[in-house]
Structure 1
């Protein structure tokens, strides 16, 4: 989510066509270089600026942007404005990832924890299990039983300790 609303960016971009970003910056409490970037985006894309239709950006789009920038020898700022990216910083990150880790690093990465696969809650009947599966289940149940016994012993010891304190 952008810090500034699209209408606000458009308003400042239009004003920047007539006034300097140095005077607009303090008036609207926005950095002048950001106003200059918005003004450039507005000059190139017009009223349809700041839409950012392609989010998250696809792998193919990233490659296309980097190739276009290289072929035409454009700056980061101009290329970002031409493709209506939310900021030149995004393009800089793509460029850095491409230079250090190659083309595969531009593919979107999955974010967050991996999903837990929920196995069926109904266990297999023992008649359908192999001997190895039966032994594994027996070991698991023995370990689970030992843990429960230990927990019960700790609870009883705590009760006994509180009774002796009184």
Structure 2
């Protein structure tokens, strides 16, 4: 989600057609460069600006944008405005990734935490375990037992301390 709503961007882009970006920048506390970028997107796309129809961007779309920029010798700002990207910074990242690692880096990656692998809740029978697995389970159970004993001792100490208070 964008920081500023689409209607706000359109309104500022329209205002930038006849007011200076510096004045608008002071009035709305937004950088002048951002306002100029919104204005150029508005000049190219009109009322259809800031829709980002191709979002999330596919690797084919990213490659198309990069090749159009190189073939036409367009600037970063103009290219991102021409393709109605949310910011020129996105295109800069695509160029950097493409120049370092090629087309494979332009493919979208899954975001967020990976899914958890749920292991079987039933333990393996001890007859099927190796000696090493049995030793590891024994060590784990001993540690778990020690922790539970400590927890019980702490609870008992807290109970005794509460009893001693008048």
Q: Distance in 1 between matches of 2:159 and 2:46?
A: 76
CA pair 138-26 structure 1, distance change in 2 beyond 3 A: closer
Give the match for residue 130 of structure 2: 131
CA pair 151-4 structure 1, distance change in 2 beyond 3 A: closer
Q: Distance in 2 between matches of 1:27 and 1:131?
A: 72
Give the match for residue 143 of structure 1: 143
Contact 1:80 1:88 in 2 (8 A): yes
Q: Distance in 2 between matches of 1:14 and 1:160?
A: 74
> 1:119 aligns to what SS in structure 2?
coil
How many pairs are equivalent? Answer: 163
Give the match for residue 107 of structure 1: 107
Structure 1 gap segments, 5+ residues each: none
Contact 1:21 1:35 in 2 (8 A): no
Contact 1:16 1:24 in 2 (8 A): no
Q: Distance in 1 between matches of 2:41 and 2:65?
A: 15
CA RMSD, 1 decimal: 3.2
Contact 2:21 2:36 in 1 (8 A): no
**What displacement does 1:74 show?**
0.4
Give the match for residue 65 of structure 1: 65
CA pair 66-153 structure 1, distance change in 2 beyond 3 A: same
Contact 1:76 1:88 in 2 (8 A): yes
Deviations 1:118-163 (A, max 9, x none): 2232334445x23344444333223322333344455556777888
User: TM-score if structure 2 supplies the norm length?
Assistant: 0.73
Give the match for residue 13 of structure 1: 13
> Given the alignment of the two structures, is residue 92 of structure 1 paired with residue 92 of structure 2, yes or no?
yes
Q: Distance in 1 between matches of 2:9 and 2:39?
A: 9
Q: Distance in 1 between matches of 2:22 and 2:141?
A: 74
Give the match for residue 82 of structure 2: 82
Structure 2 gap segments, 5+ residues each: none
User: TM-score if structure 1 supplies the norm length?
Assistant: 0.73
